[in-house]
A and B are shown apart, each in its own frame.
Chain A
Amino acid sequence: MTVSIQLEVNGKPVQAAVEPRRLLVHFLREDLGLTGANIGCETSLCGACTVLVDGNAVKSCTMLAAQADGASVTTIEGLAQNGELHPLQEGFWEKHGLQCGYCTPGMILSANYLLTQNQNPNDEEIREGLKGNICRCTGYHNIVEAVKYAAERMS
């Protein structure tokens, strides 16, 4: 049994027939080939799979593809515009906010959501805003710096 869904992914319309139980993250990664969202825990605890759904940061391992029917989804692949890196992407590169990079797409999209809520967050607000995303490599020090860099660039 499948259900048919229509949604927008990175600005492009997508139509698909999916199993009702198919997770959004598997739909994005395996059906659409958008492998930027990673799976670190498949239990909503690490944030590696974070994408934006209608502007909200969502852990795509905890949402069904069927629930995204009618939604607009942005993945890390859709963040750079016209070949220009998003200030957050720049910040993570500039400030060494990533090592293995596995947490990075989710981290950047969560930070993106944070910056839509608070354009000029202080260190504590950044740490509070990103606590749903685990990074095992960086110790977070430079992630805070990366987000500050982006906030400055965007203001």
Chain B
Amino acid sequence: MAGVLGTSIKRREDPALITGRGKYTDDLNVPGMAHAAIVRSPYAHARIRGIDASAAEALPGVLAVLTARDVAAAGIPGVVPVGWLLPDLKTPAHPMIAADTVRHVGDAVAVVVAEDRYIARDAADRVAVDYEPLDAVADVVAALEDGAPAVHEDAPGNVAFDWEIGERESVDAAFASAAHTVQLDLRNNRLIPHAIEPRAVLASYDSNAGSMTIHMTSQNPHVHRLLMTLASLGMPEHKVRIVAPEVGGGFGSKIHHYADEAIVGLCSMKLDRPVKWTATRTETNLTDAHGRDHSTHCALALDADGRITGLRVDTTAAMGAYLSTFAPAVPTYLYGTLMSGQYDIPAIHCHVTGVFTHTTPVDAYRGAGRPEATYVVERLMHLAGETTGLGPVEVRRRNFVSPDAFPYQTQVALAYDSGNYGPAMDRALEMIGYDDLRSEQASRRGNGGGRQIGIGFSSYIEACGLAPSAVVGSLGAQAGQWESADVRVHPTASVTVYTGSSSHGQGHETTFSQIVADRLGIDPEAVEVIHGDTDLVQFGMGTYGSRSAAVGGSAIARSVDKIIEKGKKIAAHLLEASAEDLEYEDGSFRVAGSPDRSLGLGDVALQAYLAHNYPDDLEPGLSATSFYDPSNFTYPFGTHVCVVEVDTETGSIELLRYAAVDDVGNVINPMIVDGQLHGGLAQGIGQALWENAVYDESGQLVSGSLMDYAVPKIHNLISFELDRTTTPCPHNPLGVKGVGEAGAIASPAAVVNAVVDALAPFGIDHIDMPLTPEKVWRAVNS
């Protein structure tokens, strides 16, 4: 249907969700269902001397208490694997249930299954675990010090990996001859994803069939099935069905394969009953993989004209107690490769040390490596603007990759396919009224009052949709990075799409129906979209890394194109024309040049299934499957501008304006794209101003509840001002790039740059996130 692409169609997902009819995992109840509660270590590091479950087992209604012994007795692999390998990566075992040592607060030591969830929790409290507490180290820098407590015996010095990209020598040379240099020591604060739906699983083992159905909070059910069967439960892959019902947000936290989901599967197998487990908020905070947690030294060299000549980055990145599913990729291939930002930088070197700590594992969280990289580059660009005297706008402009330089090969592996960075910056300046803001700032500074304003920029690059599979495989991924789509046109010309992209709030059903409707020239209402079920969808890599539109959507487009090609052959047969002469437009097959000779999609679809009057060399049916493996990442970009007011007497910060101009390529549904940006902005601004996962020296998570971990609330935030430029992706059929993470990638640097800009008269050039009033006040008063 014409005009369906690029239109803000209301979401078809919403009627169920606004009336309470949407079914999330914890909403599901099945006959015979029991409830699990997991017993977790209260220590960051301890030896388990013994477990006495007798008091728990004695409680009426308790069905079983399982420990590591039962995992061993079950004869299953019983581990939680890592899915991305780096050269010389240390991969210490991560048992589903800790056997003799616990390595972070929240490590699972036992599980109780009972008839109801209250009894399960009561019984979990009665499991007596005899711990011998050991020294722990939670801080990523302290973990590298001599004599730091070892997290794993087989990872000396707590080093998980040592990785680098770029050329150290050419960077050293750039610094040796630089006219200006700026440098920074910074922390990228550890974050807790906080999807509002806690992780949950309902595992239903069927001993007759030897099969299991697992409903769970998953962003990628097929990947979960693979890891669950292969590494944890040892069941044949085809005997396990994983279904992701409604999923209440993920932001990365529901990509990973966790011990808990496997433990519940084991319980169901042992008891031969359905077993449900839903994390409490405290449990999600202790077990959902955290994000970020870097300590970085970085420096930029510039020539006398303010052109960048070199960038040096040295980062220590926390892995936590175990390597989570994609953890090693995040501070390496998703971080070091982004260091060129929007700039033409002739020499870059990035060195990263991955470090084990006695904390919750760290893995991909919205942006995954790219926010950390953008923060490094854009904080340095702010300082470069100050040091060179060019200011934040001109120093960026002077270094943007020029629009005629694409495709642009960076010094850190990535080749940007397209881009046009100047116009996004221009538009952002126009929206924000830059010159007026600077005058206002100058007059406030002149008045010397306690309320100073600051303007911060962030010109970011993102790399979405990891690709192609062969390349990511050569970099250590233990998974492909394509996506599948099976598109079936039914005899009545309505369509069902089976996609491997698994929505958890993004509105795929709506946008994917728009893609099909546009390409097939039909009403989006005639398109059904099925996802999130390993029995229905043949395979899928899932939804993460802003990949669903660019990779999943492109797979759908490919399948539709195949259907049109087949339809042309059928129509040509029926119209007694040659297939080469047929065109497809607005839902009809037409003979070029003879507008009266045409057939509707419905006529062709019906004939495809009747196959009564049909080409000899063609199989009946009208469906097509595609596995789309992109040739490159996509490269969204944009410029964000944040305006803050800082109370220099109290250190408090007020957000005044936030303008974002993003280029995400072609847009399928503007309303949904804007919504993704809003959500990402809230998380990035949250990181900059409020959010922080804090561990004390003994490894206790001090900010383990929503009382202590400041997820942004509605009164903390403001309405955002958005606009777009459009530079279509040249290498996928839709010209789309991805938008899920842009807000979270760009905004931390924009906010911090704004605050530092406000405090420039105080000689402040950096404050670590989150910028709490206390930190700001201390900086002003030191």
Contacts and interface: CB of A to CB of B under 8 A. Distances in A.
Secondary structure type dominating chain A contacts: loop
A48 B672 CA distance: 22
29 contacts: A35-B27, A36-B21, A38-B197, A46-B706, A76-B18, A85-B19, A89-B18, A92-B18, A93-B15, A96-B8, A96-B672, A98-B18, A99-B505, A100-B197, A100-B246, A101-B13, A102-B195, A102-B248, A105-B20, A131-B715, A134-B706, A138-B678, A139-B678, A139-B681, A139-B682, A140-B682, A140-B712, A141-B678, A142-B678
B719 A93 contact: no
A66 interface: no
A142 to B, nearest CB: 6
Contacts of A48: 196
Contacts of A137: 196, 249, 505, 675, 679
Contact of B20 (A77, A123, A139): A77
B404 to A, nearest CB: 36
A133 B714 contact: yes
The list of the 9 closest CB pairs from A to B, nearest first, reads A36-B20, A100-B505, A102-B248, A101-B17, A139-B678, A139-B682, A76-B20, A35-B27, A45-B706
B714 A93 contact: no
Nearest to A29: B27
Given A19-B118, A89-B18, A144-B714, 11 more contacts: A29-B27, A38-B24, A41-B706, A75-B20, A98-B18, A101-B16, A101-B22, A127-B714, A138-B678, A138-B679, A140-B712
A101 B11 CA distance: 12
Given A75-B20, A123-B719, A136-B194, A99 B714 contact: no
Contact of B19 (A19, A43, A89): A89
Given A139-B717, A139-B720, A100 B248 contact: yes
Contacts of B280: 42
A106 to B, nearest CB: 9
Contacts of B18: 76, 85, 89, 92-93, 98, 101, 104-105, 108
Secondary structure type dominating chain B contacts: loop
B416 to A, nearest CB: 28
B29 interface: yes
Interface string A28-60: 011000111111111101101000000000000
Given A46-B196, A93-B14, A135-B196, A102 B675 contact: no
Which bucket holds chain B's interface residue count? 35 or more
A8 to B, nearest CB: 17
Interface string A103-141: 111001000000000000001001110110111111111
Nearest to A75: B20
A143 interface: yes
Contacts of B248: 38, 40, 100-102
B720 to A, nearest CB: 6
A98 B679 CA distance: 10
Interface string B20-46: 111110110100000000000000000
A104 B13 CA distance: 13
A133 B743 CA distance: 22
Interface string B722-745: 000000000000000000000100
A13 B196 CA distance: 31
Contacts of B106: none
B261 to A, nearest CB: 18
B19 A92 contact: no
Contacts of B16: 101
Contact of A40 (B14, B197, B506): B197
A153 interface: no
Contact of A101 (B8, B10, B246, B714): B246
Given A40-B198, A108-B18, A134-B711, A100 B247 contact: yes
Contacts of A77: 19-21
B14 A101 contact: yes
A155 to B, nearest CB: 21
B482 interface: no
A99 to B, nearest CB: 4
Nearest to A21: B118
Contacts of A17: none
